[in-house]
Each structure stands twice: as structure tokens, then as C-alpha cells.
Amino acid sequence: MVPGNVIMIHRAIFGSLERFFGILIENYAGDFPLWLAPVQVRVLVVSDRFRDYAQSIVQSLRQQNIRAEVDNTGERLGKQIRNSELDKIPVTVVIGQRELDNQSLSVRTRSLGDMGTMTLPQLTEEILQAIANKFSSY
């Protein structure tokens, strides 16, 4: 062997795993189905006074092993909705005064659009059912 040459040892197990994830991401174009999405639900708030209610919703969803987060960017609502669409989040929940008063959620999905208002138990049940059945869209 000549000094100064670089030798690389290929580890196939890691390469094949990386290729698998690359193909998976390319196949879905980043728009993963609900059961596979890294973030399944994003909760948006109309103003900061609804943030505690949003956090309680996220906590409840996480207790059911649903991957959820609150959008803490502080952007205006239209921008938050647009970012959620661009991030390809399957389910977006909007919280405002009406939702707080009624203890309800305004739900929008990427595939079906506006789903109207529903309660947290209704949303949780629908998401868990969609995940269990591995629906490609919700």
C-alpha cells in the first residue's frame, strides 16, 4: 500500500438503512401519511391567552401516543396555517375564544380540508382509528 492513500471501509448495514429512508422520503415527497408523520398534530393559537388550553390539548394527545406540538412561533394565524401546510402536518387544530368557551377544537386536515369543530375525545378517537388502520389519508 502506498503511503498517503485514503482507504474507506463501507458498512453495508448503515448504507442500506440510509437508502431505505431516502427512498421512503422520496416516495412520499415528505408528505407522510398520518401514522408515519413525525408530527401528527399541530395546535395553533389565535393569541397567547389560549396557549395554556393548547398545551393541555397537546399533553392529552401525547398521553395517547399521538405526536403533537403547539406552534410557538408567535406569527399571525394565517402564517401559522401556511407554515403547517408547508411542513406537511397531517392534522392542524386552531384554538380561539369560541373553542375555549365550548371546550372544542377547530380541525383541518391536509387531505380532507376543514373538518369543522369537534371535541378532543372525538379527535383523539378518529386519529387513533386512522393510525390503527394505517389510512393513507386523514
Residues 38-91 have pLDDT tens digits of 999 999 999 999 999 999 999 999 999 999 999 999 899 999 999 999 999 999
Sort 39 into a burial class: Cβ within 10 Å, 0-12 / 13-18 / 19+.
middle
DSSP-derived pairing of the beta strands 68-70 and 105-109? unpaired
Which range (4-8, 44-48, 80-84, 122-126) has the least confidence?
A: 4-8
Residue 38 near residue 101 (C-beta atoms within 8 A): no
CB atoms within 10 A of CB 109: 19
The reported pTM is 0.83
Element (H, E) at 43: strand 41-45
Element (H, E) at 115: strand 113-118
Long-range contacts for 79-88 (Cβ within 8 Å, ≥24 apart)? 80/44, 81/44, 81/108, 84/42, 84/44, 85/110, 87/39, 87/42, 88/30, 88/31, 88/32, 88/37
